Structure 1
Amino acid sequence: MRVVLAGGGTAGHIEPALALADALRRHDPNTGIVCLGTERGLETRLVPQRGYELALIPPVPLPRTLTPQLLSVPGRLRGAINAAAGVLDQMQADVLVGFGGYVATPGYLAARKRKVPIIVHEANPKPGLANKLGARFTDHVAVSHHDSPLPNARFVGIPLRRDIANLDRMAMGDKARSYFGLLPELPTLLIFGGSQGARSLNRNAVAAAPAFRAAGIQVLHIVGPKNTEVPDPAPAGGPQYVTIPYCDRMDLAYAAADMAMCRAGAMTCAELSAVALPAVYVPLPIGNGEQRLNAEPIVQNGGGLLVDDAELSPEWIAGHLIPILRDPARVANMSEAAGRMGRRDADVALARMVYDVVRAAHQQGQGR
């Protein structure tokens, strides 16, 4: 089987695509896989890092409003479609699976042009423009929210890396805390804001460092590579406030923690619920509000708290978050609630959809 994956730009598009690629290769190591991408996206680093072939096509950002840029789109889009069609031809692709983002639009249009079956995966509650387009070309639409507005939507969840999906936090806890220089017995909060950090989370969390220490709570804070917020050193032997610029072992970061404080991107919500880690979700205050929609089902089920970015403060942390961390029974209940919302096998479910679509297309071709 030969599969082209279109999901470049952000980690939210790329990681589910790579998790699907891993699931397909586990089932059949001979599966041919090529990822479409552009030279601007994170895929230039993430895709080769995971051992997959990357085919670059011209980037065609679609303006959301009427601007002079719109006039240049048709010509640029045509070039990107032709480049994507060339990849499909070279691969003799059996299927294209799109995850949204800049590369998905030319991918969908090229697949339609070449009569290659299309599968759309939408991670967000509000579909992007690319996936709205792709969903018009196929009956095979996988979604991560039960009430998705896309036609023919089938709930699958978000494919996750196996090191996350298979994580046993309880079994790995002591090892993970030792890895980060944390004590094994203290309540532990993990703070992170994505690969670049989050300025307001960093500022308010660091300001709350004395309150964390006074409450006997240790912190693992992934601050981002450009962050300048660092708390004063903690006294030896007491609760530590460990800051690191970046973490390439998020499985261990999750295992070290009793609770998290973070943004509410689709991948973040999917990973935390899959590993049953409750969280304080602080949705990004810009965009179309989808981060709040990502976190709301988890919070409504009891697996976390939701606070607006403008409301987050050291006082809010002291009054709302610290009392929870000092109550092990409540943390355990929230962990169970978060876990009920998680799905660990979305990669397998989406891979099964790929096989079903390809099989049906081959049978239809043989029947002609």
Structure 2
Amino acid sequence: MSEALRLVIAGGGTAGHISPMLAIADAVKAEHPEAQITALGSPGGLETKLVPEAGYPLELSPKAPMPRSINADLLKFPFRFIKALNNAKKVLRATGAQAVLGVGGYVCTPAYLAAKQLKLPIFVHEANSVAGMANKLGAKNAVFVGTTFANTGLPGEVQVGMPMRSNVATMDKAALRDQAREYFGITADKPVLLVTGGSSGAQSINNAIAQSLEELNQAGIQTVHITGRGKQMLDDSGELLAHEGYTQLEYVDRMDFAYAVADLMICRSGAGTVCELAVAGTASVLVPLPIGNGEQKLNARELVAAGGAVVVSDAEFTHSYITENVINLLTDQHKLEQMNEAAASLGQRDAAQIMARRIIEEVSTRQRAGQEG
């Protein structure tokens, strides 16, 4: 490439959008350290924290969501959207962008339209099994559409898997096991149940686990419980809940250790989590989020069908389910090994690199065409 690649990455709101976006940015940087990458996000989203922490400059664009009903916001929408579109074009021009990558979220719609108007190549990655409205729009004019799951309904989609940051994508579960046990303070040679509802936690899962600690401990199971920020489990006196064989943490920043230490994981079935479970080869009980458009249940399909996970509804994940099903599973080493192998058979580690290569190749081709012209 004759000059530094200049890329704008757009997406935000949740870690489910931001993490794959940053993974692709990192993969581009790995190939071209001189690449100039600028993120476009919205005020108030997690991108305002995660993007600067990852070392990338962040430009903010005002939110312009399409109102779902006829009200005053519907009258204001055209003006808000034009403002967001003009802001996106300003960022693309100021950065000298040669391509735009979008991963979904409010900011992507104006970014895609701005790129189209400026005749810049568009790249889309869809993390979920059900595509969002912004990516449906962006995919219509995209040079390349990568998806985590098959059959999302986007035009020209290619299933590449979930772009992941390198500490998970390249992890070796067996090699990390001892270090992971030390990280969580586990010394006893017991099966480990790791429970997490994600960074924000899942209160229904937390409550069911708290009610089951006596039975889990009696079965010889060590429980590591990542409750989520602000969702610590307390006892009747208001102190942090404590029990033999139970470790409670509010948050961990080494999810590779979490996957490595777990003999079985209980978690939601967000797209990123499902794909990381496969890469890690970690057996799981998936409890899809009961709200939204049902994409978490769909995200779980391939892993469940392969035998790497079982799925249970949020309403059915109770104390009784844990004592009657989870304990039996955790004490069946042969079954867990089968589930680990089945999960690992679906692991795709190079999605970020695939997306990065397509971006680099397209920009290089256009550069050569411009030089020859």
Q: Same fold per TM (> 0.5)?
A: yes
- Out of 312, 331, 340, the residue aligned to residue 307 of structure 1 is 312
Cα contact 1:18–1:47 (8 A) shared by 2: yes
1:324 aligns with 2:333: no
Name the CA shift for 1:162/1:189 in 2 (closer, same or farther; >3 Å): same
Measured after TM superposition, the shift of residue 256 of structure 1 is: 1.2
1:116 aligns with 2:125: no
Q: Distance in 1 between matches of 2:348 and 2:267?
A: 20
Amino acid at match of 1:337: A
How many pairs are equivalent?
A: 364
- Out of 54, 61, 72, the residue aligned to residue 57 of structure 1 is 61
Q: What is aligned with 2:278?
A: 273
Q: What is aligned with 2:242?
A: 233
Amino acid at match of 2:37: I
Amino acid at match of 2:306: N
Q: Distance in 2 between matches of 1:257 and 1:135?
A: 38
- Out of 266, 286, 289, the residue aligned to residue 261 of structure 1 is 266
- What CA deviation, in whole Å up to 9, does each residue of 1:108-166 have, x standing for no partner? 01111111110111111111010011011224111111222111111111100100011
3-state DSSP of counterpart to 1:105: helix
Q: What is aligned with 2:174?
A: 170
Q: What is aligned with 2:346?
A: 341
Q: Distance in 1 between matches of 2:303 and 2:68?
A: 30
- What CA deviation, in whole Å up to 9, does each residue of 1:64-121 have, x standing for no partner? 3444322211111111111111111111111000001011111101111111110111
- What CA deviation, in whole Å up to 9, does each residue of 1:181-212 have, x standing for no partner? 11252110111111110010000011111111
Q: Distance in 2 between matches of 1:210 and 1:148?
A: 43
1:354 aligns with 2:363: no
Cα contact 2:8–2:97 (8 A) shared by 1: yes
Cα contact 1:177–1:184 (8 A) shared by 2: no
- What CA deviation, in whole Å up to 9, does each residue of 1:13-36 have, x standing for no partner? 100010011111111110010000
Measured after TM superposition, the shift of residue 168 of structure 1 is: 1.1
Q: What is aligned with 2:45?
A: 41
Cα contact 1:230–1:243 (8 A) shared by 2: no
Q: Distance in 2 between matches of 1:63 and 1:192?
A: 33
* Unmatched runs of 5 consecutive residues or more in structure 1: none
Q: Distance in 1 between matches of 2:252 and 2:372?
A: 52
Q: Distance in 2 between matches of 1:62 and 1:16?
A: 25
Q: What is aligned with 2:31?
A: 27
Measured after TM superposition, the shift of residue 61 of structure 1 is: 2.3
Q: Distance in 2 between matches of 1:345 and 1:138?
A: 21
Cα contact 2:193–2:222 (8 A) shared by 1: yes
Name the CA shift for 1:172/1:228 in 2 (closer, same or farther; >3 Å): closer
TM-score, scaled to structure 2: 0.94
Q: What is aligned with 1:247?
A: 252
Q: What is aligned with 2:106?
A: 102
3-state DSSP of counterpart to 2:322: helix
Measured after TM superposition, the shift of residue 362 of structure 1 is: 3.0
Measured after TM superposition, the shift of residue 259 of structure 1 is: 1.2
* Unmatched runs of 5 consecutive residues or more in structure 2: 236-240
- What CA deviation, in whole Å up to 9, does each residue of 1:262-301 have, x standing for no partner? 1111111111111111111100000000000001110011
**Over aligned residues, Cα RMSD in angstroms?**
1.4
Q: What is aligned with 2:238?
A: none
Q: Distance in 2 between matches of 1:251 and 1:109?
A: 37
Percent pairwise identity: 44
Q: What is aligned with 2:211?
A: 207
Q: What is aligned with 2:298?
A: 293
Q: What is aligned with 1:17?
A: 21
Measured after TM superposition, the shift of residue 364 of structure 1 is: 4.5
Amino acid at match of 1:48: P
